[in-house]
A and B are shown apart, each in its own frame.
Chain A
Amino acid sequence: MDKRGWTIPLTLALMTLATSAILFISEQATHARIEQQKRQKLLRSLQTIAPPQRYDNDLLGSAEPIFEPEALGHRKPRTWYRGYKNGQLSLVVLPVTTHKGYAGDIRLLVAIDAANGTIIGTKILEHHETPGLGDQIEPRKSDWLLQFIGASLSRPDEKRWKVRKDGGEFDQITGATITPRAVTGAIRDALVYARAHLPQWRKQQPGQAHAPPHADNTETKRTENTP
């Protein structure tokens, strides 16, 4: 092999190393800000789906790790939030992830009335669905997501918790089949999880039975305290 032959793998290796270094630096430079952006978005999301008059405690401060994250589609530990009004559990906010989206995971927040298990509000946190089709699940693009407000596992019946195409009660989205199906299923999962745990949650008093704070939670609290 002539001398030139050696330079080829060497060049490739060096360039790969240089690119990796640049990516590492970019990751380091943007990581904190990306996390902060996500937290601020979460704060705004919580405020839009859980009306402040329905609770009198610090909602973000109530964050706790979910006991069974897998039941809500999470692969990693995630936090949930609970609102109290006059010492009574008034609402819970559960994060749900579905892997059945058209392009990657869809992450939602679902706020559920603790008294009767109806939905107070839902919010899409992250999705990669097709622009113009699947992204109609976003409330600012269509009011599709609003049809879930006031629904519960008895209204409609649990078996009818599907889009119309699948024999259920909920509207679908023109041109998108997979996305509404995934979101409807995810919201149902949140309700099923809440139904299983609500009796136990209602017994706990505010500030009671708090698990050791997750690293995320302390960060969230700090963000909230800054004016």
Chain B
Amino acid sequence: MNPFIRHRLIDNNAALVQLLGLCPLLAVSNSVVNALGLGLATIFTLTLTNALVSIIRPLTRKEIRISLFVLIIAGVVSALEMVMNAYWHELYLALGIFIPLIVTNCIIMARAESFASKQSLPKAIADGFLTGVGFAMVLVVIGAIREIIGKGTVLDQTDLLFGAWGAALQWRILPDYQGFLIAILPPGAFFVLAILVAIRNKLEHKKRQKTHESS
């Protein structure tokens, strides 16, 4: 895999390695549809803010760069909130406060400050998109694990996101399953995230040992 892509999706994954943006990650990963909804919104926001930050590079003086980034991020998220309210009304209601809270996701500020403000437009867009995908991937995986353990379903209420045909995607894996509530409650988010981080660290450790032995 291209190192530029691999770095953003796996090796330096925003959620699992940099541990950024954990508030929305932990809060809305209680079902796949919520995770996917917020994941897509984050990808969109991150791509657009990175693009705009890159475009205004000539205007960005060191002293005011943070203010400008805040302005851009707040503007993009507010516009996104209105669009979601208009076109994905039910999902917008389901995600509630976490749509406007995308503004506080520090991945967005981190990418603007450390990458987009120094790079050309295509690179900034690619970076925003891929970092967002890396974040959304982890979000959906945690959402799937929590939904299966907590409710015994996958993709429940997908119609909120995709309309009528989304309902066909709903899949009850474990019929007559009462649900293990803690997986849906906030502690479940911490447990699942901790397990994923632990697995990643284990794999990373093994890989390092291998390169060490071969060299």
Mark A residues whose CB is within 8 Å of B: 4, 7-8, 11-12, 15-16, 19, 22-23, 26-27, 30, 33-34, 37-38, 41, 103-104, 126-133, 135, 140, 174-175
**Is B89 on the interface with A (CB-CB < 8 A)?**
yes
| Distance, CA A151 to CA B68, complexed state (A) | 55
Q: How far is the CA of A175 from the CA of B30 in the complex (A)?
A: 15
Given contacts A131-B30, A132-B184, A133-B185, contact A19 B86 (CB under 8 A): no
Q: How far is the CB of B178 from chain A (nearest CB, A)?
A: 13
Q: Is B141 an interface residue (CB 8 A)?
A: no
Q: Which stretch in B7-15, B56-64, B161-169 binds the other chain? A: B56-64
Interface residues of B in 1-55 (CB under 8 A from A): 27-28, 30, 34
Pick from A11, A16, A30: contact of B61, CB under 8 Å: A11
**Whole-angstrom distance from the CB of B181 to the nearest CB of chain A?**
7
In the complex, A38→B98 CA distance in Å? 20
5 interchain residue pairs of minimum CB distance: A19-B75, A30-B86, A33-B86, A37-B89, A26-B79
- The residue in chain B whose Cβ has the minimal distance to the Cβ of A20 is B75
Listed by A's residue number, 15 A-B pairs whose Cβ atoms lie within 8 Å are: A4-B61, A11-B61, A19-B72, A26-B78, A26-B79, A30-B82, A30-B86, A34-B86, A127-B96, A129-B96, A131-B28, A131-B30, A131-B98, A132-B30, A133-B186
Q: Contact at B68–A11, with CB atoms within 8 Å?
A: yes
Q: Which residue of A lies closest to B28 (CB)?
A: A131
Q: Which of B54-111 contact A (CB under 8 A)?
A: 56, 59, 61, 63-64, 67-68, 71-72, 74-75, 78-79, 82-83, 85-87, 89-90, 93-98
